[in-house]
Amino acid sequence: MKNITFRAPLIVAGFLLATNLQLAYGQCQEDTRTVTLKKDNVARLKSAVCKADGSDVRVKVEQYRFSDAAASIIASGQILKALVNVVGKFRTAKNDVLKTYADLLSEFGETTVLKGDYYASLAIPGDKDDVASNDIAELQGGKLRTLTGAGEANLDYPAIEEIRLLRTKVIPTGLAYFYEVACRDQSEFPIIHDDKNKCFKFKPSETTMLFWRSMESTDITRYSDRAKQYNLLLKPKDRETYTITPAVPRELRLYEYISKGAWPKDFVTLAGYKMVDGCSDYTGGGALGWRFTFHTRSIFMDATSIQNLSNKPITIDHFIGASSPDSTLRPLSSSLDGALRLNIESAMLAPGERILVPTRIAFAPSVGSVDQFSYLQTAAQLFASRGSQGFTGNTAAHKAPDLKEFVYGPEISISGISTANTTINFKETTKTALNITIGADSGSCPILLFRQSSDQWISSGKILQTAKGVAGETSETIAFPGLVSQFRLEEREPEVARLRRPTLTLRLRNRETLTLTPNQPFHRDGFELLWGDAFEFSFDVPESVSGDSVMESRLEITGYYDRYSEVLASNTDVTVRPLSKPASSTCVANSDIRAFARRVLK
C-alpha cells in the first residue's frame, strides 16, 4: 500500500473553510454493497455516495472500525488480500493516529507465530447475530504483532489488602459489590445498564457475590510486592495453579502508559469473589480462598475510506473536519463536529482509487466485563432479598461500574473534502466492524511462548498435539536458534494439560552440549494447567556461556491433555450432586472455568 504523508498539526485552528473557495455543497445518498468472504457467506456494508452540485465529481465514503489485529496489519504497512477484498485496494494515510498506534505496538505488542494449528480469521458482524467470516490462509507461517495478543483476557491480580479484609467479612472503603447472574434465558444477550434487561431463568445457586473497584496507578507500583505477599499465602496444592509472577503484566503497563498515571474511573475493573462452589464441598484456590481478576480492554482503530467514483482523477485539495484538542486517555464523545480545514497534504486519487484515513484509537469494554455486570434489574432484586450476606463495612455500595468506551491519542473526524474549488460534505455512514482475530483449532494445548533479549513474548504455537489422554502421553522437543532460556505456557482451550518438568539442552558452537533444569520447583508428578492458566519458567545459563556461543536451544517437555467435554462425560454424578450450601450462599462465578474444572477433575 502506498502511503500518504500527513503534515502535523492536524488542524490549523480557526482557519475557516470559506476562504477563497467556491461553496458547492453536494448531495449524498445511502448505498449498500455486498462482500462475499466465501460461498454463502456474504456481508453487507453501508456507505454513502456523495456528489458535488454542478460537477461530475463523485466519491464513496465508508466508515470502519478495525480490530486490534486488523489495525496492527495496517499500521505495519502490510498488504493483506483479505483486507483488500473487503475495503478494496487502498492507500493508507500516515497521520498521527496511525503513528500512535504503531508506537504502542512497538512498545507493548505481543508477537504470535502463525503456524501449525494457529490461524487468523476475518469476521464482519451484521444485523442481529449474523456474522460473515473466513479464515485468512495467507497469514499462515508468518508473524503478527498485536496489542491484545490472542484476544481479550481475564488476568489474575494479587489484591492482598482486599482479600485480608474480606476474609474477616468486612467490605473495605472503595470496594463495591454486585450480584452476578449466570443467565439461562434462550436468545437473551445482556445489554449493559439497560433497566429493562432482566434474567428470567437462573439458578439461585449460580449467582456470585462479586466484589469490585476501579484499578489505579498504585496497583502497578505495588504489584510486585503484592504478588510476593499473595504467593506466600497460597496453600502448597494451589501454588502451581495460582502463583502470580511478580513482573507487571504487559497489559497493565500499557494502561499505565496511556493514562500517564491518572487512570479514569472504571477504565479497568478489578473484581473478586470467594472461591466456594455451591455444588460441592470444595473450597480453596487463590490466596486464603479468594481470587481477584481484571478483564483486558478491546482495542480498535477507526478510519474513514474515501473512494473516487469519477471517471477521471481528482485531487483532494483539503480534508474538512474537526480534531480533538485533547490527546490524553478520555471518555469517547458522541462526535467531533466542525468544518475546519485539516492541515493535511493534498492527495490525488485515480478513478476507483481509495484513501484510508485513521481517525482514532478506542479502548472498549471487553465482552467478558460487559457480561459480568449485566442484568442490573435482577442483581438489584437479589440485593433486596440477600443484602450483604453478613458482611459489614461498605454494605450500601451494591452497584455496577460505568463501562464506557475511551479514546487515546490524536482524534479527528472527516466531514468533507474540497476538490477543484468545490466542497463535498459527507453524510455520516454506519460504521462497519472488521475483526481479525488470532485463534487455534480445537485440539491439544497449551501454547508455548518464549522470549530472548527483549521482554516481549513470542508464541511458538501448540505443543503435544497428539498427546490425547493419559495413554497418549508423549515427549516433544522444540528447537530455537541461538540462546533461549525463558518460557511461558498458556492453556487457552477448554481442557486440562498435565505436564512434567521440562529440560533445556544448549548446543554450543564448540560442539559441546549443556543440559539445564528449570529454576522453578516442580512436583514429582509435574504440574497442571486448566483453561485460563499460565505458567512461566526459566533456566539459569552459566555466566561462562555467552549468547553468541550457543547455536541452538532445545526445550523438551512431556505431558498429555484431556478435553473438558470428555471429562464431563465421564463424570455422570456432576449434575445430580445435591447442594451442600444454602441457595443464597456465595458461589463460584460462572465464568471461572478453573474452579469449575477443579470440581469435576478432583
Structure confidence by residue, pLDDT tens digits, 28-63:
899 988 888 887 788 889 899 998 877 889 999 999
Mean pLDDT, residues 249-261: 95
8 Å CB contact between 267 and 247: no
Q: Do 355 and 486 share a domain, yes or no?
A: no
User: Which phi and psi (to 5°) does residue 77 adopt?
Assistant: 80, 15
Q: Do 218 and 233 share a domain, yes or no?
A: yes
Q: Is the pLDDT of residue 311 over 80?
A: yes
Higher-confidence position of 598 and 361? 361
Q: Do 142 and 197 share a domain, yes or no?
A: no
pLDDT of residue 459: 75
pLDDT of residue 16: 36
Q: Has residue 578 been placed in a domain?
A: no
pLDDT of residue 430: 85
8 Å CB contact between 562 and 471: no
The residue with cell 468545490 is 422
Q: Are strands 354-364 and 90-94 parallel, antiparallel or unpaired?
A: parallel
Cell numbers at 3, concatenated: 502511503
Burial 555-584 (b: 16+ CB within 10 A, else e): bebbbbbbbbeebbeeeeeeeeeeeebeeb
Q: Is the pLDDT of residue 599 over 70?
A: no
Q: Has residue 63 been placed in a domain?
A: yes
Q: Do 273 and 158 share a domain, yes or no?
A: yes
Mean pLDDT, residues 422-448: 77
Identify any residues that bridge with 35 across adjacent strands, giving them in sequence order.
Answer: 43
Helix, strand counts (H, E) of the chain: 12, 38
pLDDT of residue 595: 41
Q: Is the peptide bond before 9 cis (omega within 30 degrees of 0)?
A: yes
Q: Has residue 275 been placed in a domain?
A: yes
The secondary structure of the chain in percent helix, strand, coil, rounded to multiples of 5, reads 20, 40, 45
Mean pLDDT, residues 96-105: 95
Confidence of residue 22 (pLDDT cuts 50, 70, 90): very low
pTM: 0.72
Residues contacting residue 465 through CB under 8 Å, at least 6 positions apart: 116, 117, 443, 444
Q: Do 26 and 79 share a domain, yes or no?
A: yes
Q: Is the pLDDT of residue 445 over 70?
A: no
Q: Has residue 581 been placed in a domain?
A: no
Q: Do 270 and 392 share a domain, yes or no?
A: yes
Q: Do 449 and 538 share a domain, yes or no?
A: yes
Q: Do 237 and 357 share a domain, yes or no?
A: no
Q: Do 255 and 387 share a domain, yes or no?
A: yes
Mean pLDDT, residues 257-280: 82
8 Å CB contact between 347 and 315: yes
| Rounded Cα gap, residues 157 and 291, in angstroms | 8
Beta strand spans in 182-331 (E): 207-214, 269-274, 290-295, 298-308, 314-316, 318-323, 330-331
Q: Do 43 and 85 share a domain, yes or no?
A: yes
User: Could you write out the DSSP letters of every residue in 321-386?
Assistant: EEE-S--SSEEPPS-----EEE----EEE-TT-EEEEEEEEEEE--HHHHHHT--HHHHHHHHHHH
- Count of domains in the chain? 3
Q: Has residue 576 been placed in a domain?
A: no
Q: Is the pLDDT of residue 282 over 60?
A: no
pLDDT (tens digit, 9 = 90+) per residue, 523-568?
666 777 877 677 888 999 998 998 889 988 999 988 888 765 454 4
Cell numbers at 215, concatenated: 484499578
Q: Has residue 259 been placed in a domain?
A: yes
Nearest-10 Cα torsion for 384, 385, 391, 394: 0
Higher-confidence position of 72 and 496? 72
pLDDT (tens digit, 9 = 90+) per residue, 176-207?
999 988 777 644 444 444 445 678 777 777 78
8 Å CB contact between 59 and 50: yes
Q: Do 197 and 286 share a domain, yes or no?
A: yes
Q: Is the pLDDT of residue 591 over 50?
A: no
8 Å CB contact between 457 and 449: yes
Q: Has residue 466 been placed in a domain?
A: yes
As a whole number, the mean pLDDT across the chain is 80
Q: Smallest Cα–Cα separation from 93: which of 16, 23, 13, 1? A: 1
Beta strand spans in 68-172 (E): 90-94, 110-113, 118-125, 131-135, 143-146, 154-156, 170-171
Q: Is the pLDDT of residue 580 over 60?
A: no
Q: Are strands 90-94 and 110-113 parallel, antiparallel or unpaired?
A: unpaired
* Structural domain containing residue 32: 3-150+298-362+413-438
Question: Averaging pLDDT over each range in 164-178, 541-555, 585-599, which range is the top one?
Answer: 164-178
Confidence of residue 266 (pLDDT cuts 50, 70, 90): very high
Q: Do 113 and 173 share a domain, yes or no?
A: no
Q: Has residue 583 been placed in a domain?
A: no
